[in-house]
Amino acid sequence: MTATDTHRTIDAVWRIESARLIAGLARMVRDVGLAEELAQDALVIALEQWPQSGVPDNPGAWLMTTAKRRAIDRLRRSKLLERKHIELVHELEAEQEQAGSKLEAALDDPIGDDLLRLMFTACHPVLPVEARVALTLRLLGGLTTEEIARAFLQPASTIAQRIVRAKRTLAKAEIPFEVPRADELAARLSSVLGVIYLVFNEGYSATAGDDWMRPALCEEALRLGRVLVGLMPREPEVHGLVALMEIQASRSRSRVSSSGEPILLLEQNRAHWDRLLIRRGFVALEHAEKLGGALGPYTLQAAIAACHAHAVAAQDTDWERIAALYGTLVQVAPSPIVELNRAVAVAMAFGPEEALELVDALRDEPALANYHLLPTVRGDLLAKLGRLDEARVEFTRAASLTQNARERELLLRRAQTCDGSADSEVR
């Protein structure tokens, strides 16, 4: 194996093992920031040694053993060798003595509680949302700072500072590395699900830049969602979120033309939808519904997405059921954006006049003041009613609000023509 091949192997090993490695170390040293540093130290040593010695039979176990040795050395050298550090050294040394087969067996366990603890820690509500996203992609996704920066069109220095501040905040707040207690679980799980779906949405409909989609982010969010299903198989909303992402991701190939232009839902070639992802989404949705209880917001959105997936052609869509599901979603998770999507479904089921009343009631919502889809939907409804001059104004305003270049071009074309109807719901 050449040095280049070895480095490629190390990159692959890191992608596979880094989250589990950091999670295991964080449990031992009780500090996420220190755990990542130790894992990175082990990676550097691997880059130095493996090209000469070869890749070990169990690279994950090798990295863990090396990182634990680094932890012992670092804690011993610390000028502030507090009592808790002494205790940690003793614990790590004891584990080192029992390493070998026991350690390898632990690492061969597909995914354990440590990974779940890491998810809840990275997505802790004490952190701002953007910090949760960056830290999750770094610790659980194994992405570099530069990769995260490229994905979100941010300077690498901004992302680096965000991650550093997040680690400091967790350390300062002394956030325990644990799965939340029962009384906190629902709220904390909601934060984890929200971060994963935010990553997916940024990949599915990029908020800025020149591309309509960033598939790598969708894939990473799906991977994290599937991991979470394995960790929390009895949580309906975890299955609901995965169902929603699987079904939405099934449309990816049909959402962009060969020239990179957006293709909206009603205009997509459904023969290009990925039937495997749709089937996986249906299975996940069935699991969520079978677990019982009232349907949560992600499961309801998955049921809406399933209505689209069941329709062989756009005209076969059961819009009345979609409107009813949105009515339930408004009760479960009230939001102006949900109300806006409900208005689109109402327009398709019952006509644009009734929907326009719903949209006009949202025009003074502070949360939608700079939301480009509000004038987009209003322009679409006005165009359907033949009020083209008003529609043109709305599409022009929407184009001025979006930060995505492809979407801006689409809206400006709508402003020029105002002769068609676009599907603004579930893009």
- Structure-block tokens of residue 220: 């990473």
**CB neighbours of residue 213 within 10 Å:** 18
Residue with tokens 């069109």, as numbered in its chain:
153
CATH number for the domain harbouring residue 418 = 1.25.40.10
135 assigned to some structural domain? no
d(CA 128, CA 367): 18
134 assigned to some structural domain? no
* pLDDT tens series, the chain, 427 aa: 676 788 888 888 888 889 889 998 888 888 899 999 999 999 999 999 998 888 898 998 899 989 988 887 877 766 445 555 555 555 555 655 555 444 444 433 434 588 899 999 999 999 999 999 999 999 998 888 988 888 777 899 999 999 999 999 999 998 988 889 888 898 999 999 999 998 998 888 766 665 656 788 899 999 999 999 999 999 999 999 999 999 999 999 898 888 888 888 999 999 999 999 999 999 999 999 999 888 999 999 999 999 999 999 999 999 999 999 999 999 999 999 999 999 999 999 999 999 999 999 999 999 899 999 999 999 999 999 999 999 999 999 999 999 888 889 999 999 998 854 444 444 5
d(CA 303, CA 280): 13
Helices (H), 30-98: 32-53, 59-77, 83-97
332 assigned to some structural domain? yes
The burial of 87, by beta-carbon neighbours within 10 Å (0-12 exposed, 13-18 middle, 19 or more buried), is given as exposed
d(CA 375, CA 215): 27
SS3 407: helix
Predicted confidence at residue 96, as pLDDT, reads 56
148 assigned to some structural domain? no
d(CA 193, CA 161): 24
Predicted confidence at residue 251, as pLDDT, reads 93
63, 82, 109 - which closes a domain:
109
Enclosing domain of residue 82: 3-109
d(CA 49, CA 54): 8
Q: How many CA atoms lie within 13 A of 219 on its CB side?
A: 6
Predicted confidence at residue 89, as pLDDT, reads 56
CA 143 vs CA 17, 19, 238: distances in Å: 12, 10, 23
88, 109, 130 - which closes a domain:
109
Four-residue CA torsion sign, 368, 373, 377, 378: positive
SS3 21: helix
Direct distance between the N- and C-terminal alpha carbons of the chain, in angstroms, rounded to an integer: 46
298 assigned to some structural domain? no
232 assigned to some structural domain? no
257 assigned to some structural domain? no
Non-local (6+) Cβ contacts of 405 within 8 A are: 209, 210
Number of structural domains (the chain) is: 2
Non-local (6+) Cβ contacts of 157 within 8 A are: none
d(CA 136, CA 138): 5
Burial 292-329 (b: 16+ CB within 10 A, else e): eeebbbbbbbbbbbbbbbeeeeeeebebebbbebbebb
| Nearest C-alpha neighbor of 308 from the set 250, 240, 256 | 250
Q: Which pTM value belongs to this model? A: 0.82
Predicted confidence at residue 426, as pLDDT, reads 42
The burial of 363, by beta-carbon neighbours within 10 Å (0-12 exposed, 13-18 middle, 19 or more buried), is given as exposed
109, 135, 154 - which closes a domain:
109
User: Side chain identity at 213, as an amino acid letter?
Assistant: M
Residues shown for the chain: 427
- Structure-block tokens of residue 195: 């971060």
84 assigned to some structural domain? yes
DSSP per residue, 203-228: HHS-SEES-S--HHHHHHHHHHHHHH
SS3 249: helix
Phi, psi values for residue 35, rounded to 5°? -60, -40
Angle at 39 between CA 62 and CA 106, to 5 degrees: 50
